[in-house]
């Protein structure tokens, strides 16, 4: 930037620059600003704004002043490789939109669109900490809650080494039994455990749970109201000094999926559902919706990369929740598939802060009452077994016999269990009564079922869709039986047996019982 001007366009977004230009009346300053813009960021919209002000002054003075450069119609120059970052993309350190000049939080009505009338576009907010909704059942933390706490602890320990210290916050909602779980939440990795206890919350209820968790996240602040113009109120929680969490993890259980979508909607953010991988990384973004300028490339930091199986069934997608220049998306939130992460060993000596949340619960939130309920049997737990035998659509020619053969193989091992692919569960096979109990959803393995990590996993007649893979690919040894040598499961199996499961499984049973494996191994280039 030249020394003869006080107007450095690189310090402003185009919108801010236009405000500065309106007060500029020195042609030399404007000429220098135009030259500086071309030399540095070279934004077409910024150049045009400066040139328009030069032309305006020229018209006012009758053309006495000659603009330094009137060529403002050239195409936008490619800025690939430039290191300067436009503030229109937000604070690159935070991955957040730039706050107003006075540093206050504001809700911009002009950011509302016809198809997003509910959006209350928070700008200039302060976001911190990783929150974890800890689901409970029967007065105990679900395993997935412990897994998420462990992953959150791992992520935030790494985060705190690179940035300023932020915390893991565990969230509990329920009846009086959950008060005893706060210390356990801290033992599994949380720095803070916040809970809301009410006898009416013994079982999950959609409306009150949503209102409670959203209020916790807002810190007691009342959100603005688009229709009335009410600007809302500031957070009142004394234990924290920010507007909303930076990140929020929920379990991808039936209740967790319900709650996560509603809470993230209440907090005006998005949700990546059914994730199995999480990292916090930098991300270079060129989308003008996010950067605010065509051609700009901005590196966002502190971005939660949320990895999930995509709808093709064979690939993974990584979901990002990035701010727009005029709207901030926080918390960055996702639901986590149970079994995706390992819990840390609990540390009962670990110290943390326990917060009781206070909120008057409207009677209207409980207008639907549960008058009777039956408690299901304990169900089938496929985790913890040394061997899991899983059956897929390959049993379709004779489902009853296929399940019988799978059970025979299970019986041949000392500690084994029978699992199913989603294809079997949803196929509605007509099976004989003595095996009907085994064709149940509770035996499903995969993204929407159980996640297992046995010493040996036998996959018979399973193609290997990624939704199934996420439920078993941490097994020590995977043996696949399939007639299709191009089946996807071959790519991640340790041993692949080409053959019909109706012929292969009986031979496996015979080999195990005799203690002698009768099979011929063939080398493969794959």
Tokens of 374: 């039956």
What pLDDT sits at residue 516?
Answer: 72
What sign does the CA torsion over 103, 104, 109, 111 have?
A: positive
Mean pLDDT of 204-232: 85
- The reported pLDDT for the residue numbered 106 is 56
CA 357, 258, 278, 174 dihedral sign is: positive
Residues 366-397: pLDDT tens digits? 988 777 777 666 678 898 899 999 999 999 99
Q: What is the pLDDT of residue 493?
A: 93
Report percent pLDDT > 90 for the chain.
45
Q: Which of 255, 15, 249, 290 is nearest to 136 (CA)?
A: 255
Retrieve residue 494's tokens.
Answer: 């340790």
The helix/strand/coil state of 269 is coil
C-beta of residue 259 within 8 angstroms of C-beta of residue 148: no
CA dist 491 and 452 (Å) reads 19
The proportion of the chain whose per-residue pLDDT surpasses 70, expressed as a percent, equals: 83
Can you point out the beta strands (E) in 271-348? 271-275, 277-285, 298-309, 316-319, 332-336
CA distance 30 to 38: 12
pLDDT confidence bin for 89, thresholds 50/70/90: very low
What is the spatial distance between Cα 204 and Cα 274, in angstroms, rounded to a whole number? 20
Contact between 35 and 2 under an 8 Å Cβ cutoff? The reply is: yes
The pLDDT of residue 475 is above 80: yes
Instruction: State the pLDDT confidence band at 103, using cuts at 50, 70 and 90.
Output: low
> What does the alpha-carbon distance between residue 31 and residue 458 come to, in Å, rounded to a whole number?
74
The stretch 158-163 carries a mean pLDDT of 93
- d(Cα 463, Cα 438) in Å, to the nearest integer? 20
| Count of all residues that appear for the chain in the document | 526
pLDDT of 75 > 50? The answer is no
pTM of the model as a whole: 0.65
Structure tokens at 153: 């602890």
Tokens 């053959």 found at: 499
pLDDT score for 208 = 95
Q: Partners of 303 in the beta sheet? A: 281
Q: What are phi and psi of 521, to 5 degrees?
A: -90, 135
Which of 48-52, 256-260, 393-397, 481-485 shows the lowest per-residue confidence on average (mean pLDDT)?
48-52
Q: If we measure between CA atoms, which residue out of 148, 118, 121, 120 comes closest to residue 134?
A: 148
Please tell me the distance from the alpha carbon of residue 172 to that of residue 251, in angstroms, as a whole number: 13
Quote the CA–CA distance of 115 and 240 in Å, as a whole number.
34
Q: How many helices (H) and strands (E) does the chain have?
A: 13, 19
58-67, 138-147, 276-285, 334-343: which range is least confident on average? 58-67
What's the start-to-end Cα distance of the chain, in Å?
Answer: 59
Q: What is the pLDDT of residue 33?
A: 86
3-state secondary structure of 460: strand
For position 222, what pLDDT does the model report? 84
Spatial separation of the C-alpha atoms in residues 463 and 16, rounded to whole Å: 56
Residue with tokens 């065509």: 294
pLDDT per residue as tens digits for the range 251-268: 998 899 999 999 998 888
Asked if 61 and 30 count as a contact pair (C-beta separation under 8 A), the reply is: no
- DSSP letters, 169-210, are EEEEEESGGGGGGHHHHHHTT-SEEEEEE-GGGSS--HHHHH
Using only C-alpha atoms, what is the Rg of the chain? 29
What average pLDDT does the segment 65-90 reach? 34
pLDDT at residue 233, as a whole number: 83
Q: Are 459 and 493 in contact, with CB atoms under 8 Å apart?
A: yes
DSSP 8-class letter at 84: -
pLDDT at residue 310 is higher than 80: no
Please state, in angstroms and rounded to a whole number, the distance separating the CA atoms of residues 37 and 46: 7
In this structure, the strands spanning 168-174 and 192-197 are parallel
């Amino acid at each position: 930037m030249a020394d003869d001007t006080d107007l450095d366009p690189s310090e402003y977004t185009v919108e801010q620059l236009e405000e500065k230009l309106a007060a500029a009346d020195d042609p030399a300053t404007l000429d220098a600003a135009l030259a500086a813009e071309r030399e540095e960021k070279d934004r077409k919209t910024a150049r045009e704004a400066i040139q328009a002000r030069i032309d305006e002054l020229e018209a006012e003075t009758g053309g006495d002043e000659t603009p330094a450069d009137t060529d403002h119609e050239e195409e936008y120059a490619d800025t690939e490789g430039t290191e300067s970052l436009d503030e229109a993309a937000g604070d690159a350190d935070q991955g957040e939109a730039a706050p107003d000049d006075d540093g206050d939080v504001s809700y911009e009505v002009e950011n509302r669109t016809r198809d997003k009338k509910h959006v209350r576009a928070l700008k200039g907010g302060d976001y911190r900490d990783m929150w974890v909704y800890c689901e409970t059942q029967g007065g105990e933390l679900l395993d997935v809650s412990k897994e998420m706490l462990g992953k959150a602890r791992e992520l935030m320990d790494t985060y705190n080494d690179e940035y300023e210290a932020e915390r893991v916050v565990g969230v509990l909602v329920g009846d009086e039994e959950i008060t005893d779980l706060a210390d356990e939440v801290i033992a599994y990795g949380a720095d803070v455990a916040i809970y809301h206890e009410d006898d009416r919350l013994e079982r999950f209820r959609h409306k009150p749970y949503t209102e409670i968790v959203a209020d916790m996240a807002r810190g007691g602040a009342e959100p603005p109201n688009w229709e009335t113009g009410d600007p809302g109120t500031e957070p009142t929680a004394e234990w924290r000094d920010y507007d909303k969490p930076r990140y929020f993890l929920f379990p991808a259980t039936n209740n967790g999926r319900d709650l996560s979508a509603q809470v993230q909607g209440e907090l005006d953010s998005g949700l990546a559902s059914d994730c199995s991988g999480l990292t916090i990384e930098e991300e270079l973004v060129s989308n003008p919706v996010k950067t605010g300028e065509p051609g700009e490339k901005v590196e966002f930091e502190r971005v939660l990369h949320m990895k999930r199986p995509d709808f093709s069934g064979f690939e993974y997608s990584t979901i990002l929740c990035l701010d727009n220049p005029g709207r901030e998306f926080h918390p960055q939130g996702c639901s986590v598939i149970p079994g995706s992460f390992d819990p840390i060993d609990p540390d009962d000596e670990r110290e943390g802060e326990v917060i009781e949340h206070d909120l008057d619960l409207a009677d209207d939130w409980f207008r639907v009452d549960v008058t009777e309920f039956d408690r299901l049997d304990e169900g089938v737990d496929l985790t913890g077994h040394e061997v899991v035998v899983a059956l897929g659509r390959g049993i379709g020619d004779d489902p009853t016999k296929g399940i019988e053969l799978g059970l025979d193989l299970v019986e041949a091992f000392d500690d084994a269990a029978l699992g199913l692919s989603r294809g079997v569960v949803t196929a509605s096979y007509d099976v004989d009564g003595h095996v009907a109990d085994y064709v149940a959803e509770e035996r499903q393995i995969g993204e929407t079922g159980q996640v297992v990590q046995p010493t040996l996993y036998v996959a018979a007649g399973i193609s290997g869709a990624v939704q199934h893979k996420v439920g078993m690919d941490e097994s020590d040894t995977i043996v696949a039986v399939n007639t299709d040598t191009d089946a996807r499961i071959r790519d991640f199996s340790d041993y692949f047996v080409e053959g019909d499961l109706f012929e292969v499984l009986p031979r496996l049973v015979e080999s195990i019982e005799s203690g002698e494996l009768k099979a011929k191994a063939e080398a493969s280039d794959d």
